[in-house]
Amino acid sequence: MLTVRQYGRGAGAVVRVRAPGRTGQESRSPGRAAGPSVVGMTDIESITMDVADPEAAARFLADAFDLGEDRLKVRAAAEPSEGFRGFTLALTVPQPADVDSFVASAVAAGAAVLKPAAKSLWGYGAVVQAPDGAIWKLATSAKKDTGPATRRIEEFVLLIGVADFAATKRYYVDRGFAVAKGFGRVYAEFAAGTGAVKLALYRRRALAKDLGVAPEGGGSHRLTVNGGGPEAFTDPDGFRWAPAGAREAGGRETDARETGGRAAA
């Protein structure tokens, strides 16, 4: 049975969801060992999304993608947002059958298909938009199935669309993030370390085109990244980071938009 609990009220309310796995056990993040973990200075422990209806959003995440509070949290939206929010949440899976399976469960849970599943130069993928407005990309580098769908998530990636690629990449490198993969001045993927979520950067207009949406948008991103060190900060494109876990208390916030796009010392 899906268990949804709400903590607090109003804009600060946080909803947590627990979803049973396919075998009847409590689901865990694929590839992550049970027990306490140590989050490094550049690791992302989880993502918090601001939504209009936290309980409905939590149910969607569990029903569509088998995701619980270990990697994704939801809370009531407090700031207005319109158009493209400048990011996508991407799930990398083993094979096309898994893409199809997640697309089917997402649509059944209320998602709209922005790009139907199809083969591409890079593999096989699809794009859907959740009822809360967040855009999700399901992808695999494999072009053929080797068996039935497993619904195993190999990687959970936060892909940010940036206005000035070189400046934002430099900002994160200055904060200690190590580039694991890159394609010129267009795309960069950072090493995930022990974190539950991987960070990647893409030019905003290129990302919007890849997702099948217009690049215009304004207001809140409606997303907070939990991790990245002991202090809160905001990157050059306005994405907010909050200390993960026990480090949430204290610390000052730095805003890259007020420090020339570079990490404050």
Which CATH superfamily hosts domain 42-258?
2,3-Dihydroxybiphenyl 1,2-Dioxygenase, domain 1 (3.10.180.10)
Nearest CA-CA partner of 31 in 73, 70, 85: 70
* pTM > 0.85: yes or no: no
- Position 95 scores a pLDDT of 98
DSSP codes of every residue in the chain:
--EEEEES-GGG-EEEEE-B-TTSSBP--TT--SS-----TT-EEEEEEEES-HHHHHHHHHHHH---TTTEEEEE--S-EEE--SEEEEEE-SSHHHHHHHHHHHHHTT-EEEEEEEEETTEEEEEEE-TTS-EEEEEES-SS-SSS-----SEEEEEEEESSHHHHHHHHHHTTPPEEEEETTTEEEE--TT-SBEEEEEEHHHHHHHHTS-S-EEE---EEEEESSSS-EE-TTS-EEE--GGGGSS---EEGGGTTTS---
Residue ranges in the chain whose pLDDT is less than 50: 1-4, 6-7, 9-39, 246-254, 259, 262-265
pLDDT value for 32: 40
Q: Where are the domains of the chain?
A: 42-258
Per-residue pLDDT, 14: 46
How deeply is 231 buried, as exposed, middle or buried, from its count of CB atoms within 10 A (0-12, 13-18, 19+)?
Answer: middle
Report the pLDDT value the prediction gives residue 244, as an integer from 0 to 100.
Answer: 79
| β partners of residue 198 | 157
Number of other residues whose CB lies within 10 A of the CB of residue 142:
16
β-strand partners of 90: 137, 157
**pLDDT for 42:** 83
CB 159 within 8 A of CB 204: no
pLDDT, position 28: 36
pLDDT of 256 reads 56
Question: What's the confidence (pLDDT) of residue 229?
Answer: 85
